[in-house]
Structure 1
Amino acid sequence: MNNQNSFDDELLKKRIDTFYGYGNYQGNYWFIGMEEAGGDFKDVNNRINIWDKRGLKEIDDVAEYHIDIGWPSDFQPGAAIQPTWKGLIRIVLSAKGKEKINLEDVRQYQIQELGRKDKETCLLELLPLPAPSLKHWIYNQHSHLSYLFNRQIYESYCLEKRINYIAERIKEHKPEGVVFYGKLYEYSWREITKKITDIDFKLTSEGFLICRTSQTMFVIAKHPVAFGSTNQYFHNIGRAIAARF
């Protein structure tokens, strides 16, 4: 590897060990997904270098960060609605009691509210490195870190630590709702929740899993872009969070 075609491994290790997502730990509504999307080496390297320049933050402001990496369009007037975020936004709006949510409601929340450092949501990632899909793994081609040889070794290296850390942050901040999205990592979602409560999940008639403590409703849901994910499905999750007590 030459320097122009390889990651700064020291910086890459910091990213793996310390980056958790976007938004505000003080927020009432937390969303935890598998990992954020990413592209080729140039794209991912830019993302990580900008994260460095912004101060190596554990959680960042999603809009400020994406503007800095050169992707401002999701936060400008008339922005296209981001496919993953739209389901999460509908959950929040429904949890706050809003009925008849329209596309403009979703768009304005995306532009102004979602994942912002001083607002009401927290967007966390189970895994710290961007990837376009489970089938694409570029890190072994551009890094000397042994635990990036393949995805399986990478997950073995960081999953347990991150499960423990996310669980501790939930216990510390006690959000009203924690929504895990993406059924592929259901085992990890259950492991996080087990570290907080011994109450098991129950399947609702709407098709998502729920359990609750005295402070927090936990939900395991479909990914917003998964087959069969409807607006009503996410509205029902929001209503379940609102009615948690």
Structure 2
Amino acid sequence: MLIKEHTLQYWLDNFYGFGSWNSPVWFIGYEEGGGDLPEEVAEKFDYFHNLRAVEPPALCDLRDLYRHVAFRTDGPRASMFATLYDYRFGDHAILHGIWKNLIAFAHGGQGRALPDLLDYQKNDFTRTSEALIALYPLPSPHNHAWYYSWLDLPQKSMLKTRKLYEEQVYPHRIQTILAKIQEHKPPVVLFYGMNNINQLKRSIQEFFGQAEFAMVKGTKQEIPQHHRAEIPGTTIIVTTQIPALKHNRADSGFDWARFGRSL
């Protein structure tokens, strides 16, 4: 399946993630995972383009999008799931390594008991309590490989390198996200997995003139190092850490429920 220029452009211009802008907790990741399989990317773009009735900048239904994307793998799970929906929300769903920690963070921050993580992922995640937002719109693998340079789209020269792409989309993207924070005032916004901490802090301080960041030192295997600012109605947290184990090593993780409670 080919990635079409008009669906890619619509995604670039209008896709911001999943859930609702009215959610009390916003998780803003660097980018959505994926991007290494053009068929998967094309199915996402086509689905979102067909939702044009949704007013941009748009957050869409995570489960509905996943119903429209085939599950593709060469591993032992190849025959277990037909779609990404089956993989994450079906009867035999697999717990997401990042989502489980985001769920723990949200519950800790709201003083709620930790639920059964897989059950919550399947039935509740991003429905009412969380928004899952991407700072950069295009799906890309977490190792930051860049597969869009192979697209035969002469009008999209910015996609030849990740640097060009990020430089072009960042200014409008961050302004839109910050305007939405100002409009909706979610109690907590967590920017995670960020490698542009100083740029983000400058953008937030320029938009919210009163924002002052404090750096909070991390505690090994408990709370990651992060930067925190208070603006009217919202606590903003920025961290380089991704809520997942590195190389499946338990000593590389943190207690994300405790992190939430620390706020």
TM-score (norm 1): 0.85
Mapped contact 1:175–1:215 kept (Cα < 8 A)? yes
Q: CA deviation at 1:136?
A: 2.3
Higher relative contact order (CA 8 A, sep 6+): 1
Describe how 1:30-179 pairs up with structure 2 within 5 A. 30-38=26-34, 39-55=36-52, 57=54, 58-69=58-69, 70-72=83-85, 73-99=87-113, 101=114, 105-116=116-127, 119-133=128-142, 135-142=144-151, 143-144=153-154, 145-179=156-190
* TM-align CA RMSD: 2.0
How far, CA to CA, are the matches of 2:117 and 2:111 in structure 1?
Answer: 14
Q: CA deviation at 1:82?
A: 0.3
Q: CA deviation at 1:154?
A: 0.7
Q: CA deviation at 1:71?
A: 0.6
Q: What's the CA shift string for 1:157-195, capped at 9, x where partnerless? A: 101110111000000000000001014132343244221
Q: Secondary structure at the match of 1:203?
A: strand
Q: Secondary structure at the match of 1:199?
A: coil
Q: CA deviation at 1:22?
A: 0.5
Q: CA deviation at 1:205?
A: 4.5
> Residue 94 and residue 148 in structure 1: after superposition, are their counterparts in 2 closer, same or farther (change >3 A)?
same
TM-score (norm 2): 0.80
How far, CA to CA, are the matches of 2:10 and 2:43 in structure 1?
Answer: 15
Instruction: Tell me the number of residue pairs that the alignment of Structure 1 and Structure 2 aligns.
Output: 230
The aligned residue for residue 180 of structure 1 is 191
How far, CA to CA, are the matches of 1:218 and 1:224 in structure 2?
Answer: 17
Mapped contact 1:163–1:188 kept (Cα < 8 A)? no
Q: Is 143-152 or 15-24 further displaced after alignment?
A: 143-152
How far, CA to CA, are the matches of 2:236 and 2:259 in structure 1?
Answer: 10
Q: CA deviation at 1:153?
A: 0.9
Q: CA deviation at 1:140?
A: 2.4
Q: Which runs of 5+ in 2 are unaligned?
A: 70-82, 219-224, 247-251
How far, CA to CA, are the matches of 2:201 and 2:104 in structure 1?
Answer: 23
Q: Secondary structure at the match of 1:165?
A: helix
How far, CA to CA, are the matches of 1:192 and 1:43 in structure 2?
Answer: 32
Moved over 3 A (4+): 54-57
Confirm whether residue 238 of structure 1 aligns to residue 256 of structure 2: no
Task: Decide which structure has greater helix share.
Answer: 1
Q: Which runs of 5+ in 1 are unaligned?
A: none
Q: Secondary structure at the match of 2:93?
A: coil
Instruction: Letter of the 1:49 partner, please give it.
Output: D
> Residue 8 and residue 199 in structure 1: after superposition, are their counterparts in 2 closer, same or farther (change >3 A)?
same
Within the candidate set 204, 223, 230, 2:242 is matched to 223
> Residue 61 and residue 210 in structure 1: after superposition, are their counterparts in 2 closer, same or farther (change >3 A)?
same
